[in-house]
């Protein structure tokens, strides 16, 4: 493969520890919804890094105050395929972390810190690959595009903007942590709220009221049973659907029978299911529970202000194409990972790129998915280095070299 020889030539004098240092600097910059600057400082840091690497076509696109997408292009000669490297610059806040979130620390063969896995590690590897190509003197045949997008941890407004702008590329890699597995599919995600209404009364005479927390508990138990049923609906592409009650709220004081209770629900669904079927399913469950406890009423409302305005639909990409073939070849060369194509357990912006823009998109990046949002988030350094080599070789294979 010509791309392998070129990649070896480009990597010959590069010290991969520079990528680790880049990741450390990125971890030191908080980029979540609870800091005033949100993604702004990290986007500007990335822009500076790419400018220092010699890139000329760099744009900060402010979608909201302090919330810019960063887009950078290494233009090709026009005779090759174009490739997008997509990564989100936001992280979740440092909830319940047992390590210093913004003082990156190398312990043994891992680097620890918020964003190491989700997903500053992938972005560091992507940026390294772009820098190496820009400084190498080689001319790509097709365009290489990087998009560092805002808001994936909330409503994906960054990639929504790419959709609105009509981004046009031939292939895309979304660098969510997959433990260097090639993922062509994932489930869709629907969030909704169940509003339970009853009757308030004094806490000393609870029998005169209709306690919505009690009714909410009954509903929760039935949802738990529903999740077991969903586990039997195995899907060959993305495994089985799931349902989870993530939040419950209700009541004003201990001495008042609560007349309203809210349950916030996360429903993951397959390509075999529709949103209509999901809502019909929960309405049937609620009707059964309410019939057994007369007097209560329920309403189900989508949490549209908390999810992607274009919907968090499933991803179902092709089993084979040039991008998947290139990833398989590079995986075999640089790792001992299985080259089998699988599915991503979370939701990603790849669904928007594939569904809304028709871009063949895969999810692929370093890091264990279970370390996302964890209290001790950490990334294996060897996987970070492997990601640099794989991204570099895949870029050369897909875009081509003149």
> Would you say 178 and 344 are in contact if contact means Cβ atoms under 8 Å apart?
yes
Round to whole Å and give the CA distance between 364 and 339: 12
User: Which of helix, strand or coil describes residue 212?
Assistant: helix
Task: Provide DSSP, 187-203.
Answer: -EEEEEEEEEE-B--BT
Three-class secondary structure of residue 394 per DSSP: helix
pLDDT by position in tens, the chain (length 402): 788 999 999 999 999 999 999 999 999 999 999 999 999 999 999 999 999 999 999 999 999 999 999 999 999 999 999 999 999 999 999 999 999 999 999 999 999 999 999 999 999 999 999 999 999 999 999 999 999 999 999 999 999 999 999 999 999 999 999 999 999 999 999 999 999 999 999 999 999 999 999 999 999 999 999 999 999 999 999 999 999 999 999 999 999 999 999 999 999 999 999 999 999 999 999 999 999 999 999 999 999 999 999 999 999 999 999 999 999 999 999 999 989 999 999 999 999 999 999 999 999 999 999 999 999 999 999 999 999 999 999 999 999 999
C-alpha distances in Å from residue 255, one per residue of 72, 203, 252, 342? 59, 4, 9, 52
Domains of the chain: 2-186+314-399 (3.40.630.10), 188-302 (3.30.70.360)
Structure token pair of residue 37 = 């600057």
Cα 350 to Cα 370: distance, rounded to the nearest angstrom? 19
Q: How many CB atoms lie within 10 A of CB 244?
A: 12
* Cis amide leading into 60 (omega within 30): no
CB proximity list for 28: less than 8 A, separation 6 or greater: 102, 103, 104
The pTM for the full model equals 0.95
């Amino acid at each position: 493969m010509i791309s392998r020889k070129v990649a070896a030539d480009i990597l010959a004098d590069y010290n991969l520890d520079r990528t680790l240092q880049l990741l450390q600097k990125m971890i030191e910059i908080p980029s979540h919804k609870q800091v005033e600057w949100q993604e702004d400082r990290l986007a500007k840091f990335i822009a500076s890094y790419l400018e220092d690497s010699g890139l000329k076509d760099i744009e900060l696109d402010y979608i909201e105050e302090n919330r810019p997408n960063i887009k950078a292009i290494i233009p090709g000669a026009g005779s090759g395929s174009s490739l997008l490297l997509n990564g989100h610059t936001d992280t979740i806040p440092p909830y319940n972390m047992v390590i210093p979130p913004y003082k990156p620390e190398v312990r043994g063969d891992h680097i620890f810190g918020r964003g190491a896995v989700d997903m500053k590690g992938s972005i560091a590897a992507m940026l390294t690959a772009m820098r190496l190509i820009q400084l190498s003197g080689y001319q790509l045949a097709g365009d290489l595009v990087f998009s560092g997008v805002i808001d994936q941890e909330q409503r994906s407004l960054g990639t929504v903007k790419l959709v609105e702008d009509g981004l046009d590329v031939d292939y895309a890699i979304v660098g969510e942590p997959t433990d260097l597995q090639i993922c062509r599919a994932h489930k869709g995600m629907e969030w909704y709220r169940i509003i339970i209404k009853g009757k308030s009364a004094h806490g000393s005479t609870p029998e005169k009221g209709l306690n919505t927390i009690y009714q909410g508990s009954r509903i929760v138990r039935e949802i738990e049973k529903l999740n077991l049923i969903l586990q039997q609906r195995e899907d060959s592409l993305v495994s089985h659907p799931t349902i989870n009650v993530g939040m419950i709220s209700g009541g004003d004081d201990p001495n008042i029978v609560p007349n309203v209770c809210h349950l916030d629900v996360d429903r993951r669904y397959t390509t075999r299911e529709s949103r209509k079927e999901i809502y019909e399913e929960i309405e049937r469950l609620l009707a059964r529970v309410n019939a057994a406890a007369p007097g209560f009423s329920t309403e189900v409302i989508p949490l549209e202000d908390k999810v992607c305005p274009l919907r968090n639909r499933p991803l179902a990409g092709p089993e084979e194409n040039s991008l998947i073939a290139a990833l398989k070849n590079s995986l075999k060369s640089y790792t001992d990972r299985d080259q089998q194509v699988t599915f991503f357990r979370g939701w990603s912006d790849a669904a928007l790129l594939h569904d809304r823009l028709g871009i063949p998109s895969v999810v692929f990046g370093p890091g264990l998915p279970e370390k996302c949002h964890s209290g001790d988030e950490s990334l294996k350094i060897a996987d970070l280095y492997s990601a640099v080599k794989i991204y570099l070789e895949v870029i050369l294979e897909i875009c081509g070299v003149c």
